[in-house]
Structure formats: C-alpha cells, structure tokens
Amino acid sequence: MLAIKKLHKRYPNGKQALDNVSLDIPPGMFGLLGPNGAGKSTLMRTLATLQDADGGTATLDGIDVLGDKDRVRSLLGYLPQEFGLYPRVSAAELLDHFARLKGLSQSAARREEVDALLKKTNLWDVRKKALGTFSGGMKQRFGIAQALLGKPRLIIVDEPTAGLDPEERLRFHNLLADISGDVVVILSTHIVSDVSDLCAQMAVLQDGRVLTSGAPATLVQALAGKVFQRVVDKGDVAAIAKEQRVLSTRLSSGRTLVRVYADAAPAGFDAAAPDLEDAYFHAMRGAVR
C-alpha cells in the first residue's frame, strides 16, 4: 500500500503544483488522470525521489518515501515520460548495465533476469540491435524492462502510451496488465481510455488537487441517468453551453455531438450511457456551468 497524505509543492514561480494531495493506492494498477500541468508529473517525480515536496508524507508499506530515499530507490521501477538511451548500444548491453546499477552484482543471476525481461517485453529477438534503430514502441518496452529490474514493489509509468500507434499501444497495455499483480503500479496519463482499460482504481488531478478518486466503474455509475446527448450544428454549441452543463463535444458525421450532465433530459436530448470520459469531464468541470 502506498499512502500519500497532504503532499504539497509550490515552485519558485508561484505555481502550486501539488495542493494537499492525499491518496491511498493499493497493489494493482492505479490510474492518475489529468490534463497537462495538472501536477501528475510533479507527483510522480516526488514519489520517485527525484524532487522534494514542501510538506506532507508518503509511505510505501511503512517506508518513508520522502525521507528514506535510498531504500525507496531499491524498491522502485520508474519509466518517465521522456528518457534518453545510448543509440549505439544494444538492448541487452544497456539493460545489463542498468541491472548492475540496480545492485544485481551476481553475473549469473543478472544474466537470468535480463534475459527474462527481454523475453517478457518481446525484445529478445532484437536484443543485439542498437537502441537507435528501435521504434517508439520498442523503446517504451525497453523502458518498462529497465523499470522491472530488481523486482520492484512500486512501479511508476508517466504517459507511457503517448505517441504510440494502436498496435504498440495495445501491446504495451498487455504488458502493463501482466506486471500489476501484487505490486503498486501508478499509470499517469491524460488518455482516459488507458485508465478505463487497465485500472481498478483511479484519481483525477487538476491544478495540483485531487478532484475525485475511486473505482472507474463506481465513478461512471454515479452518472447513471444524468448524461444526455444531441447532434447539433457547430454554431449551436455556444448557446447550449449557456443553458446546460456541457461535458464534452466531438465531431460526428460532420456535425457536433454534445454530451451534457442534467437531472432530466433537456429538450431535444436523448439519454446516453455514461462512460469514464464523462466522469472525467464531470470532475474537471466541477459539475457547474
């Protein structure tokens, strides 16, 4: 269990990156949703011991994440949003190097773990190829391989599927699902469907604050009977927004599909089954006009 209590962080420019964030994160996949600038990366970097919070606490199975950084790093697997690789080094060589840095000093045991992770991430057949020849998806899979070194108890992945094509995104989803048994895996993203597909628990962040948290299905069920939709001309959206609590708009066959939150169906609107995207926008908009 990762217990976060009242974490807060303000940057020198005055931005409140974390505003008393409190979350209890059980083993399994936990989704952290929010737009760019919501505070997700700040929270991830703080939990990964890469920066300090101004106050609050975080404990991993009783270990002080903010104070006992060396202990936490020995239990941590981290895949940041952006990471550099040596383009001329092979996947096997660099993963072996990272394994040494992680403290895997026994040659035979290290080789066994490196080989197993290359196979698990479907990189075994290209293990001798230079990383500079890898596609974006292959680099992400290498990133998760290095994050899994040492059998971590806390794994943090920050925007892992951004920029991946649909096939690589699905492959990465399957890989994440496979590793989330009895360890805490935090998936930080702005892609709602990633959380819907993978996570048993989630939270929504905005302006450094937790807007809502819980099981995705529970958050969706709370909107049952409250979501309605209508296809309109684009020019009608502004007028509707003045009268209704608009959750989202999207193009549909050249026109605009408007989804709103209401206690009863507005004139011309049909009932719609809520989904996690509705729950996300409902939280983001604070259910106010």
The 10s digit of each residue's pLDDT in 19-37 is: 999 999 999 999 999 998 8
Tell me the pLDDT tens digit for each residue of 41-87.
Answer: 999 999 999 999 999 999 999 999 999 999 999 999 999 887 888 99
CATH of the domain at 140: 3.40.50.300
Q: How confident is the model at residue 181 (pLDDT cuts 50, 70, 90)?
A: confident
| C-alpha–C-alpha distance, residues 221 and 195, integer Å | 16
Question: Is 284 inside any structural domain?
Answer: no
In this predicted structure, the answer to whether residue 11 has a pLDDT above a threshold of 90 is yes
How many whole angstroms separate alpha carbon 264 and alpha carbon 99?
58
pLDDT at 286: 76
Residues 210 and 254 grouped into a single domain: no
CA-based torsion, 236, 238, 239, 240: positive or negative: positive
Contact 163, 191 (CB under 8 A): no
Hey, what are 191's tokens? Answer: 């892609």
CB 76 within 8 A of CB 149: no
| 247 and 177 fall within a common domain | no
Tell whether 41 and 121 lie within a shared domain. Answer: yes
Q: What is the pLDDT of residues 79-130, one digit of tens each?
A: 988 788 899 999 999 999 999 998 898 999 999 999 999 998 999 999 999 9
**DSSP assignment string, 251-281:** EETTEEEEEEE-SSPPTT-EE----HHHHHH
In this structure, the number of other CB atoms found within 10 A of the CB of residue 103 comes to 12
Q: How far apart are CA 92 and CA 222, in angstroms?
A: 48
Residue 285 lies in a domain: no
Query: 69 with 198, same domain?
Result: yes
Q: Which helix (H) or strand (E) holds 3?
A: strand 2-10
Instruction: Report the number of distinct structural domains present in the chain.
Output: 2
149 and 252 in a common domain:
no
199-250: per-residue pLDDT in tens?
A: 999 999 999 999 999 999 999 999 999 999 999 998 899 999 999 999 999 9
Q: What is the pLDDT of residue 205?
A: 95
Tell whether 87 and 197 lie within a shared domain: yes
The answer to whether residues 207 and 267 belong to one domain is no
Residue 102 placed within a domain: yes
Residues 55 and 31 in one domain: yes
Q: Does a structural domain hold residue 278? A: no
Three-state SS sequence of 40-91: HHHHHHHHCCCCCCCEEEEEECCEECCCCHHHHHHCEEEECCCCCCCCCCEH
244, 123: one domain? no
Q: What is the mean pLDDT of residues 143-156?
A: 92
Q: What backbone phi and psi angles, to 5 degrees, belong to 64?
A: -75, 105
| Burial degree of 250 (CB within 10 A; 0-12, 13-18, 19+) | exposed
Q: Is 62 left (phi over 0), alpha (psi -120 to 50) or beta?
A: left
Residue 72 phi, psi dihedral angles, 5° rounding:
-65, -40
Q: Are residues 73 and 91 in the same domain?
A: yes
Three-state DSSP class for residue 36: coil
Provide the domain limits for residue 268.
225-273
Residue 286 is assigned to a structural domain of this protein: no
82 in any annotated domain: yes
The answer on 191 and 257 residing in a single domain is: no
Cα 31 from Cα 199, distance rounded (Å)? 6
